[in-house]
Amino acid sequence: MTILVGRNVRMALKSIKSTKLRSLLTMLGIIIGVASVITAVSLGEGVRQQITGSVKTSAKDVLTVRPGRLVNRDKSGHIVSANYQAALGTAALTNQDLQAIAKLPSVKTATPLSTISALAATREGRQFDSIIVGTGPDFASISGQKVAYGNFFDESQSDHDVAIIGKTVAEQLFQENVPIGQIAVLRGHEFIVSGVFDSFSANAYTGGGDLNTAIFIPYDAARAISGNATNIYQILVTPKDGATESLVSNDVTQALSTTHGGQQDFTVLTKAETLQLTSKTLAILTTLIAGIAAISLIVGGIGIMNIMFVSVTERTREIGVRKSIGATNRQIYSQFSIEATIISLVGGIIGVLLAMFANFCLKVFTSLTPVATWPIIGLAVATSTVIGIVFGTAPAIKAARKDPIESLRHE
């Protein structure tokens, strides 16, 4: 049996080599499918690891308050499901909510993250479409985001016109890496750049978006230049010494229920819950994208089946010769089935190599850090092999059932 399989493998490789271009085109769907799935999952895993790292380096017991009822809880308060429609809503927290949280005896700090609409500019007239974020003096320490140059503003500067900018803002707007002391003009108001953030990676506390393109200013200054029209999309809360996460969570929930007229159209998340919700969301998105990419594998399988049908027709006389000298239907079936499997397996291996190259390019030329794991690589290759077996079955059966006399007459 082993000798027969080895002979069929050699025959399959010889057939593939004799029609190199056709074999490569046959593999194309498998190559694209495997490369797409591995790249998509690698990106999801990379972002998940970045977020996990950001949570671990953030303040010890930070709680997150977000608008909308993002989760459903059981009677014990544990998250049982996520409400993703609420995450797409346009609701926002208010300054009244912020003040209510800040006054709680169990709360040490309440740091808002708000956005305003403004186009950043320099005195020389250069402009940059940046994200303007109004926040508190504790943002950098709470989020664990390092300031590469200069300093983040402190409590004494909370109403001053100072700005801490992202790396991309420094490079694109000011055209230098360390524009400390330069002036950024926002809605006609001048802000002195006092710091430049280190490069932002995926962060569970930043609310999405590329914050390398963001300009951070004091929350009070943001309210002043926007006419109190800031949009708070998140509040980061740290408990006082001795106050537990559960105590602070209950206090914040009660306070916001009062300011919201008894409606719990907000969500309070502990550090662990923030990581759980973010990881679950990423897992769903990654699965969805990988599922769409996997359609290429099905298309590739159909391509293999079509080409194998053509191959069976072209090699009808060969089949007749083999049967006339004693080859059984099982041996003919094995020959063509193994050939389809090898085509698919080789396509899967090439797809893995292509995915590794794509991941390398993404690391070098973008801020993304995809992480390919051996289980997903092995699963992708195994899936491509199974597709070759499945879609090669029908052509192999057709070859095995050919009548030897009629096959020998075939020109």
pLDDT at 359: 92
Q: Are 182 and 234 within one domain? A: yes
Among the ranges 168-172, 271-275, 283-287, 337-341, which has the highest mean pLDDT value?
168-172
**What's residue 241's pLDDT?**
85
pLDDT at 27 over 60: yes
Q: Residue 4 pLDDT more than 70?
A: no
Which of residues 207, 238, 269 is at a domain's end? Answer: 269
299 and 201 within one domain: no
Evaluate whether residue 275 is within a structural domain: no
pLDDT of residue 2: 60
Cβ(59)–Cβ(34) below 8 Å: no
Q: What is the pLDDT of residue 176?
A: 92
Residues 331 and 395 both lie in one domain: yes
221 shares its domain with 315: no
Stronger pLDDT, 61 or 133, i.e. the higher one: 133
Q: Do 257 and 309 fall into the same domain?
A: no
pLDDT of 50 strictly over 90: no
Tokens at residue 238, please?
A: 């740290």
Count of the separate structural domains present in the chain:
2
- Token pair for 165: 């900018």
Written as six digits, the tokens of 372 are 């390919």
Output the DSSP codes for 10-38: HHHHHHHHHTHHHHHHHHHHHHHHHHHHH
The model's pLDDT over 180-236, given as tens digits with 9 standing for 90+, comes to 999 999 998 999 999 999 887 766 565 556 788 899 999 999 999 988 878 888 999
Q: Does 204 share its domain with 327? A: no
**pLDDT beyond 90 at 72:** no
Identify which has the larger pLDDT, 83 or 128.
128
Query: DSSP readout, 63-121?
Result: EEEEES--EEE-TTS-EEEE-HHHHT----B-HHHHHHHHT-TTEEEEEEEEEE---EE
Instruction: Among 133-142, 168-177, 195-204, 209-218, name the one with the lowest average pLDDT.
Output: 195-204
Residue 310 reports pLDDT greater than 90? no
- Dihedral angle computed from the Cα positions of residues 158, 163, 165 and 171, in that order, rounded to the nearest 10 degrees: -170
Q: Which helix (H) or strand (E) holds 347?
A: helix 329-365
Query: What pLDDT, on a 0 to 100 scale, did the predictor assign at position 339?
Result: 86
Out of 214, 242, 269, pick the residue that ends a domain. 269
Same domain membership, residue 344 and residue 243: no
DSSP 8-state symbol, 199: P
Q: Please report, in angstroms and rounded to a whole number, the separation of the first and last CA atoms in the chain.
A: 32
Q: Are 165 and 157 in contact, with CB atoms under 8 Å apart? A: no
Rounded to two decimals, the pTM is 0.72
Q: 208 lies in which domain range?
A: 62-269
- Taking residues 349-362, report their average pLDDT: 93
Instruction: Tell me if 241 is assigned to some domain.
Output: yes
CA quadruple 193, 113, 371, 362: dihedral sign? negative
Are 11 and 84 found together in one domain? Answer: no
Q: What is the pLDDT of residues 254-284, one digit of tens each?
A: 999 998 888 888 888 887 787 777 777 777 7
Best CA proximity match to 180, nearest among 208, 209, 203, 152: 152
Nearest to 65 by CA among 233, 199, 187: 233
Per-residue pLDDT at 78 exceeds 90? no
Q: Which of 269, 294, 313 is the last residue of a domain?
A: 269
Which one is predicted more confidently, 94 or 90? Answer: 94
What is the helix (H) or strand (E) element at residue 127, kind and residue range?
strand 127-128
57 within a domain of the structure (yes/no): no
For the purposes of burial, counting CB atoms within 10 Å of the CB of 395, is it exposed (0-12), middle (13-18) or buried (19 or more)?
buried
In terms of Cα–Cα distance, which of 346, 345, 339, 351 is closest to 308?
339
